[in-house]
Structure 1
Amino acid sequence: MKISAQVVGQERLTSNLSQFPSAVRQSLVREVTKISIDLQRKVVSQKLHGQLLRQRSGRLARSINQRVVEDDLKVTGSVGTNVSYGKVHELGGTFKVPQHMRMMRQAFGRPIKEPRLVTVRAHSVTFPQRSFLQSSLDEMRNAIVSRLTAAAQKAASDLFEG
């Protein structure tokens, strides 16, 4: 007794298999980019507009940026800030304020007739931890894992269906 088998569409299957890593990677890059943007929005809109920190100038919220970096082995999405005091708010700790000049317009809660320039000595200010980046990431963690898994599965199924 002899059994024989023939693979129908072998060329298509071979072609699809060779595209598999590239297609999944491209899908993951797109999803990591979307997730990074969503995380950036969450930090700015749900953490830095008065909910967690008292907003004064909006500089910290405006400085929140996102970036996606690819190399041969991985795709990395990052959200962060380049504002020096952002780290102190995120992690807590002491922030050193350098000596500077300030216009004194009031004393003891009352306006001064003639405002004057005064020197503020260097000093340190201690801040409690008020995480806005890590807490946002922690809140989104399950959704991020689900979205990445779904993107990889969809890319793989699209490749073999199409």
Structure 2
Amino acid sequence: MTTDKQVFTVSVYTENNIGLLNRISAIFQRRHINIESINSSVSEIEGVSKFTILVNVPEDQMKKIIGQIEKQVEVIKAYYHSEDDTIYQESGLFKIKSDLLFEERQIQNIIKESNARIVTVNKEFFVLEKSGRTQEIELLYRELAAFGIMQFTRSGRIAVTKDEMKISTLLEAFQN
């Protein structure tokens, strides 16, 4: 039995039903596992939703959790992937006082070097958007925090696998 925790990205393909998110999160809660991030979206198959959940657990526990998730009636299929098996992105929005954009040359350099994008500017504030790996968004946060961040929010992870997923074939069969 392995007890070494590692980061897993969980992909759960489901019917879009009310209450399912509560039941899935309860599976993690009962085991005292913190969900690092969660994203819900449409999948590549019409009528099928996809939850992308990020957790830090030992692999043997992850296998048990996948089994519990798949027992939910609306769940079509659930998978877990290691960091090396996925291509992922997160997105962060940073709201900062506008005068800093014009008065602090260093802010302009930070924006340029981080490949962040200015979403909007007005007299009171400007908003930056940065997409990338978790570490890139955390680095930009640390750099901007020195100047003062009015608001910050980060999305959940979105991910695709490096290997071909057989889920499309399974989902097409489900759809018929």
Between structure 1 and structure 2, the one with the greater Rg is 1
Q: By the TM > 0.5 criterion, same fold?
A: no
TM-score range for the pair, normalised by the shorter chain length? under 0.3
Structure (1 or 2) with the greater helix fraction: 1
Give TM-score scaled by structure 1 length: 0.28
Give TM-score scaled by structure 2 length: 0.26
